[in-house]
Amino acid sequence: MKHRELITEDEADRRVATVNHLEERYLAWRGANPKIMDLYRKFAKEAVDHGKRFSISLLTERVRWESTIKKRGVYKVDNNFRAYIARDLVREMPLLSNFIETRRVMGEA
């Protein structure tokens, strides 16, 4: 049985601030790399066309592979951004909600 970690209110506020800071960093990164979402959309569509569920981790590794090995631009993708990338993809392509599972992010309403 897992025990929930008890944290102070200050620690909870710090964690929420950290998450919100991550989202700010993600938005800045995405703004600086506008073409990266094209790769995510392309690979998500390929996976949907095959009718298979997939994870944002799988798509991220594919983007890394394509951008590094096949030289489609070199994109550094921070693993902490994956939740935000997944949410953006589902917002842009609602069909993806049947293929990609998202969970609440700390600090999310």
Is the overall model pTM greater than 0.85, yes or no? no
Q: Which pLDDT band, with edges at 50, 70 and 90, does 35 fall under? A: confident
**4-36 residues labelled b (16+ CB within 10 A) or e (exposed):** eeeeeeeeeeeeeeebeebbeebeebeeeeeeb
pLDDT at 4 over 60: no
Residue 103 has pLDDT above 80, yes or no: no
Cα separation values, 106 from 13, 14, 96, Å: 10, 11, 22
Q: In the predicted model, what is the mean pLDDT of residues 68-97? A: 86
Q: Describe the crossing of helices 82-92 and 36-49 by its angle, rounded to 10 degrees.
A: 70
User: Could you tell me which residue, 25 or 4, shows the higher pLDDT?
Assistant: 25
pLDDT at 74 over 70: no
